[in-house]
Structures are given as C-alpha cells and as structure tokens.
Amino acid sequence: MPDMVGLEVLRRMRDLGSDVPVIIVTGFDEPGMGQRCQHAGAAAYLTKPVSRPELRAAIRLATLR
C-alpha cells in the first residue's frame, strides 16, 4: 500500500469501531512485529510463505473471536 502501512490501516479501523477479523500476511518478519499486530487488533500474524493448513487454521481462529 503506497500511502499507509497495513498496521496503520488496522489501527484506524479499530479506532472507528470495526471488529472485522484481520489476518496480517507479510514477507517481513522483524522482532516484535507479531506483538505489535496483536496489540493493534489483528486476529493473526503470518509470515510468508504461508502453508494452506496454516492459513486455514488462522481463518478458523479469527472467525471464532
């Protein structure tokens, strides 16, 4: 996304009251990012490459919240 990073989009969504489950899938894996995403309201944080079973499990868990 050229104008805003995904984590900022998620924060703004939550600030507006959205409770839509969000799964962050990224190619970047930096220390502490999973925790930052969780604090911002992400249902899951996955790093690429993501296996189908891993993605299915994250979707299943996200929809249970």
- Annotated domain spans of the chain: 6-64
Alpha-carbon distance of 52 to 40, in angstroms, equals: 25
Name which of 35, 36, 43, 1 is nearest 18 in CA terms.
Answer: 43
| pTM as predicted | 0.83
Per-residue model confidence (pLDDT) at position 6: 85
Is pLDDT larger for residue 61 or for residue 1? 61
Q: Which CATH superfamily is domain 6-64 in?
A: Response regulator (3.40.50.2300)
Per-residue model confidence (pLDDT) at position 3: 66
pLDDT tens figures, 6-62: 889 999 999 999 999 999 999 888 899 999 999 999 999 999 999 999 999 999 999
pLDDT at residue 5 greater than cutoff 80 = yes
